Amino acid sequence: MKSTSPLTILSSASLPEYRFNMHPNEGADLGLMMTRHSMKIGEGKQVDLYLLNECPKESVEVSAKFWESIGKPSKAILSYDGAELSISKV
């Protein structure tokens, strides 16, 4: 399983609930190279992860609704096993 270093979570009211944005450097830590990835995240939910140069390094941008649902952490580590993405609050 591949993991990122602790990432700052940025919440955005304009993002769809299950869309994440992160810098390509953090995507590379997870073994992801393409611009867009669809993957499962807990309980069979589907998430779309976009690797965008415009996203600040060492951060992940999520919807405000998703951020609230995971308890509003300021930092998290993302892990990916090739099929499912998991989030560990730091």
Catalogue all structural domains in the chain, each as residue range(s) with its CATH number: 2-89 (2.40.40.20)
CB 87 within 8 A of CB 77: yes
**Residues 51-78: b if buried by 16+ CB within 10 A, e if exposed:** beeebeeebbbbbeebbeeeeeeeebbb
What is the mean pLDDT of each successive set of 10 residues along the chain, which is 90 residues long?
97 96 97 96 91 97 96 97 94
pLDDT at 27: 97
Q: Which residues contact 55 (CB under 8 A, 6 or more apart)?
A: 21, 22, 23, 61
The predicted pLDDT at position 50 comes to 98
Residue 44 confidence (pLDDT): 82
